[in-house]
Structures are given as C-alpha cells and as structure tokens.
Amino acid sequence: MKNFSIRFRELSDDEFDKFAEWDILDYSKDLIKSGLCSKEDALESAKKSFHGFLPEGKYTKDNFIYMVVNSNNQDVGIIWYQKYQKDIAFICDFLIYENFRRQGYGKQTLLLVEEEAKEKGLKKVLFNVFKYNKAAFSLYKSLEYKIIDEVGENISMLKNI
C-alpha cells in the first residue's frame, strides 16, 4: 500500500445532509454555467439527478461517499464515487475545500480512490468534467486520465487502474 497523507472516513448523517444540499445546489449552478439547463430548470434537474443516483441516501448500495481527512485530522474535502457497471468506478463528485487546494490533496484523493477501487475489484475510473474547470482538467491529465468523449461543455475521462 502506498503512503498517503490523507485518509477517507464516512460521513455522519448530518454531514451527508449538508453534502446533499451543497451538491444539489452546486450541480444546478454547473448545469446553468455549462448551458445544459435553464435557470428555471436547473435546481429540479440537479435534485432529480442526485436522488436518482442515491435513492437510499448515503446507504445506497455501491456508493462510497467520504470525507477526505489530512494527517492533522482536518476535513479537506469530499469524494463520492460508485461502482458503475461491473468493473468501473464512476466519480460522481469530488471537492477539495478552497483553503486546502494546491497542496496535493486532490492528487492524493484520486490516487487513494484508484487504490480502493482496485481493492473492490474495479479496473477503471471514469468521471465527467466541465471544460471550464481548467484546474480539475489539468489535474486529471497529470494523472494520465484520457478523454473518451466530449459533448458540449462536458468531457468524459477514463483511466485503467
């Protein structure tokens, strides 16, 4: 096992509720910014998407939602991925809190997801990123994720692990 300066821990019920509220609002903003939804439809679309992925909340089978914690026991971000198809980990959402960015936590988080996914028998990691998210796109490329599809503002990236 690699040495990581981070670890994952499961969210409490209260943390999950706050995450759900944030995730829905954040995704609705992305839908508007990317041109995929109008302002009037974005919030409802984001809610539908979130609850479609997590019909049983944080207890939905094959979904892994973690707080990213650094070696000082500080919460530095959140990662949510799910088992997608038989051998793919799909990253649904990923956030390093602003005051912890550019410190290597994003890279460490993705590498830890890759390791954990391998342990779960998964062979690939897949996610979508919006073109305007240049910092995230740069990070993914540096970790050798490859573009497999582009539709409008959305880029799908994949890596064999």
Q: What is the pLDDT of residue 2?
A: 64
What gap in Å lies between CA 91 and CA 128, rounded to an integer? Answer: 8
Whether 1 is in a domain gets the answer: no
Whether 12 is in a domain gets the answer: yes
Whether 120 is in a domain gets the answer: yes
Enter the pTM of the model.
0.89
**1 confidence band (pLDDT: 50, 70, 90):** very low
Q: What is the mean pLDDT of residues 106-134?
A: 94
Whether 132 is in a domain gets the answer: yes
pLDDT digits over 38-70, tens only? 999 999 999 999 999 999 999 999 999 999 999
Domain membership of residue 96 as a residue range: 6-160
For residue 76, give the CATH number of its domain.
Answer: 3.40.630.30
How many domains in the chain?
Answer: 1
